[in-house]
Amino acid sequence: MRSWGKQNNRIITSNYNFKTTNGVTTVKLSYTFETEGFDLMHERLILIDRGDGYKILTVIMDTNESVVIEGTKDF
């Protein structure tokens, strides 16, 4: 397992987006934070609710924000 360094608990940016289609709600949670050794880290969590509560669909984290965006563009 790859180590991403120790998080400094300083979130630089955060945002969220809700989308409901055919009764299914998708939530994107995006964060940029500082870590030791990698400087900025970008993370996106995709949650989905089909009527039975939210579940994690995917999580992507990388030092390159475009990798995170590309990996979650279909949600």
> Residue 45 contacts by C-beta under 8 Å, 6 or more apart in sequence?
28, 29, 56, 58, 59
The pLDDT tens digits of the residues spanning 10-30 come to 778 889 999 999 999 999 999
What's the rounded Cα separation, in Å, for the pair 75 and 47? 10
Domains of the chain (ranges, CATH numbers): 7-71 (2.20.130)
pTM: 0.76
Strands laid side by side in the 7-21 sheet: 7-21, 24-35, 39-49, 54-62
Q: What is the DSSP code (8-state) at residue 72?
A: T
pLDDT (tens digit per residue) in 38-62? 778 899 999 999 999 999 999 999 9
